[in-house]
Structure 1
Amino acid sequence: MNWLTKLTPPGVKSIFSKKDTPDDLWIKCPKSGEMVFSADLPGLLHVTPAGHHMRIGPKTRLGQVFDDDQYEKVAVPDVARDPLKFKDDQKYTDRLKKARAKTGDDDAMTIGVGKIHGLQTVVLVQNFAFMGGSLGMAAGEGFIRAADYAVEHKLPLVVFTAAGGARMQEGALSLMQMPRTTIAVQRLRENNLPYIVVLCDPTTGGVTASYAMLGDIHLAEPGALICFAGPRVIEDTIREQLPEGFQRAEYLEEKGMIDKVVHRHDLRKTLAQILGVLMKSEPEFETEDA
């Protein structure tokens, strides 16, 4: 306590007392380094002024995609919890509890059914915030449930992928989800139903090696990392410098691996146009959107 503090009346000190500032009031854009006011992000669809597409959760994603944020959630079937009794530096069950508390979701997959510019659609969102969006039994069941619902109701399926790969805590049971989801995609094809994949940052590992690259149409958000093994692993293996932007969405579009990189502001309209063609239906656009 200094001499000025002793002389300052209590009432005056309260006026000039330091107020707590929320830690998330401002967010630094990874692309430009500029500070962005957090309250502005929802109106920007969580895209910074420099064009960096931030990672978003299922609730935000579904709200952006469906008309007027109106949709019905479809429950993901329950699966066995911790079938291998896995433990590393902490129990798998403890990791699951932390992920559920952090995200408010039961696992990485969320299914919503609603309209995209008037076209009824099943949308599956993979949440990277839930243990890196890793593909485990629950995520596999979520994908299969979404595909089955689409087949049952004769609807197209749109999947937003974001994952670090298979869930190591479930071992071979996680790897089994790759052929299981592939079979689910085949059922959509047998029923002549569109399957559209939107690749988000990051989409890697076993997810890329299965349902993420089996779509009828592949879209991607700008700057998304899309790969099996990451660039650092490849560079360490081949001992060579990789090209600029290697494995990013724009690079893959240039090489013909994906169909189109679409800005988040244009994504809803683009999906509606594609679904309209594939389902032989007319999307409902406002005059300025047409």
Structure 2
Amino acid sequence: MSLIPDGLIKKCPFCKNVLLASNIGKYKVCPKCGYGFRITAKERADLIFDDFCEMDAKITVPEYYFNKTEYVKKIEKSKKITNMNESVLTGKATLGNIQIMAGIMDPFWIMGSLGKATGEKITRMFEYATKNKMPVVMFTASGGARMQEGMNALMQMVKVSGAVSDHDKAGLLYIVVLCNPTMGGVTASFGMQGDITLAEPHSLVGFAGKRVIEQTIREKTPEDFQEAEKVMKYGFIDQIVERSDLNTVLKRILFLHEGR
């Protein structure tokens, strides 16, 4: 009896469509509903940008957390899967001959969680952009603040928000692309501070999880609760953009902002 190889078939988490993995294409999108399967930060950089040069690649989790055995195991596993030292990829990128600073959170790096090193990398990215008068494009994909780092993780919300504020005061453009999922402290800070907010189809966007909210209010939430499309109806998102169109849409926004 022959065995079916792993990864041959995929099931869309949104529409439940079962399909061959080869049918999701290079953008890894469900052909039926447009749901974007999770991809690494480096895969996204290759898909979206015309050119990308990574910065601050060596920044990683501070050594004083290395006494937490289970945490260290998760760090090493994440590094192996993503080939990154932290949950966000930052650097200089080019879109249509316009140079920008870009940040991409990686859902495979402890669920794109916001730790101390993550906040440091994003803050440096905004500071560089402010100093050099550059727009910023940020792709968020995170479960929120990293619980293993406690208060240090939560303080990154304030730290990054301060850098975003300085960038805004300099009159510079900040575009956010909400990917699946964008939750917790990331939503409560830089995930919702963009001048323009885009989202991939059917992305989960919110603060607390659905189960926690239902237990708190003692009511069932709507089936489409926290879907990007629902969030857009209430004015928190400007446009839903399919992954294959992001390069074109971002170029158009940047061209308009540059007055071209």
- TM category (shorter chain) comes to over 0.9
Task: Spell out structure 1 runs of 4+ moving beyond 4 A.
Answer: none
Q: Shift in Å at residue 82 of structure 1?
A: 4.6
Give the distance between the partners of 1:178 and 1:77, measured in 2 at CA.
21
Do the aligned partners of residues 257 and 212 (structure 1) sit closer, same or farther apart at CA in structure 2, a change above 3 Å counting? same
1:83 aligns with 2:64: yes
- Give the partner amino acid of 1:73: E
Shift of 1:86: 5.7
* Distance of 1:28 and 1:216 partners within structure 2: 35
**Letter of the structure 1 residue corresponding to residue 46 of structure 2:** G
- Equivalent residue number for residue 64 of structure 1: 47
Count of residues paired in the alignment: 259
Does the CA-based 8 Å contact 2:60-2:86 persist in structure 1?
Answer: no
CA distance in structure 2 between the aligned counterparts of 1:195 and 1:77, rounded to whole angstroms: 25
CA-to-aligned-CA distance 1:9-42 (integer Å, 9 cap, x gap): xxxxxxxx84x65301222222343333323434
CA distance in 2, matches of 1:251, 1:41: 25
TM-score, normalised on structure 1? Answer: 0.83
1:180 and 2:163 matched: no
Residue in structure 2 matched with residue 49 of structure 1 by the alignment: 31
Q: What's the counterpart of residue 98 of structure 1? A: 77
Q: CA deviation at 1:107?
A: 0.9
RMSD: 1.9
Q: Is the 8 A contact 1:86 1:170 kept in 2?
A: no
- In structure 2, what residue type is equivalent to 1:29? C
Note closer, same or farther for the CA distance 1:86–1:202 as it changes in structure 2 (3 Å cut): farther
| Kept in 2: contact 1:82–1:170 (CA 8 A) | no
* Consecutive unaligned residues in structure 1, runs of 5 or more: 1-16, 283-290
TM normalised by structure 2 equals: 0.92
Change in CA separation of 1:73 and 1:79 when aligned onto 2, cut-off 3 Å:
closer
Point out the structure with max Rg over C-alpha: 1
1:116 aligns with 2:116: no
Aligned equivalents of 1:199 and 1:231: distance in 2? Answer: 18
Counterpart pick for 1:74 among 9, 31, 55: 55
Residue number among 39, 58, 75 corresponding to 2:22 in the alignment = 39
Task: Decide which of 139, 147, 161 is 2:126's aligned counterpart.
Answer: 147
Does 2:136 match 1:157? yes
- Aligned partner of residue 91 in structure 1, secondary structure: helix
Instruction: Report % sequence identity.
Output: 39
